[in-house]
Amino acid sequence: MKAFSLAGSTALVTGSTQGIGLAIAQGLRDSGAAVVFHGNTARPASVPADCAFLPGDLLDPDAPAALIAGAFRQKPALDLLVCNAGSFFDAPFLEMDLTRWDRTMNLNARATYFAVQAFARELIARQRPGAVVIVSSTNGLQSEEDSTAYDASKGALVMMTRTLAQALAPHRIRVNSIAPGLIRTPLTAPWIDTQAEKRRHYEKKILLARIGEPGDCAGAAAFLLSPAAGYVTGQVLVVDGGLTTGQIGRM
């Protein structure tokens, strides 16, 4: 269906040099969009040669607005935004400190909020519609051991999706979210590949009986950005293979 095509659109994907962000950016490109990649280091080999790339450390308070401004300079037709950049800095709750808390919230929540704000301002000034996908997590819906700050930040993104959808609906800007479950990324691969018992536990808990791959998130993001989701806003699409559906899983 043409409704699922992103031809004629331009997307910026934050944190798109590896993992879920890279898979989403590649998926949007495969769906026909021009894509601006982003990372916090110099341009890596993973970014296609024919795509724009912008560096920037989103922990810098001024970086989200600067990134959006740079993306519009490179691609004035920009109309899609995926806020994927984020990470995990937790320690057990009783050992958590202010530095780890601030780093988590500033990257995962603050940077997303102000990137969407800068993006929306640009679209409104140009009087054109757009769409945003925020990458939250099933950690925003269910808690995980020794993950208090990360869980709180991802829960903030779930509510941010809803409140920004309401704020931006009058300007024809849709805001939705995906909530990935356990996905094999550079962050999770070290324990997935070494802790066999823990991995088998998850494979039994996940209804589709496998740990997700970054590409599993790409189609969900492309759908939410596409005309096929033109009447969808303020929603959180869980992409977890059924991890959060059943209480116990297979014995």
d(CA 251, CA 241): 17
Q: What stretch of H or E contains 220?
A: helix 215-225
Q: How many domains does the chain have?
A: 1
Average pLDDT, the chain: 96
- Express as a percent the part of the chain with pLDDT over 90: 92
**pTM attached to this predicted model:** 0.96
Does 246 map to a domain? no
Instruction: Provide the token pair at 130.
Output: 């757009």
Does 152 map to a domain? yes
Does 7 map to a domain? yes
Question: What 3-state DSSP class applies to 52?
Answer: strand
Domain containing 127 equals: 2-239
* CATH label of the domain that carries residue 14: 3.40.50.720
> For position 251, what pLDDT does the model report?
74
> For position 246, what pLDDT does the model report?
87
> For position 1, what pLDDT does the model report?
64
202 catalytic per annotation:
no
Over the stretch 106-157, which tens digit does the pLDDT of each residue have? 999 999 999 999 999 999 999 999 999 999 999 999 999 999 999 999 999 9
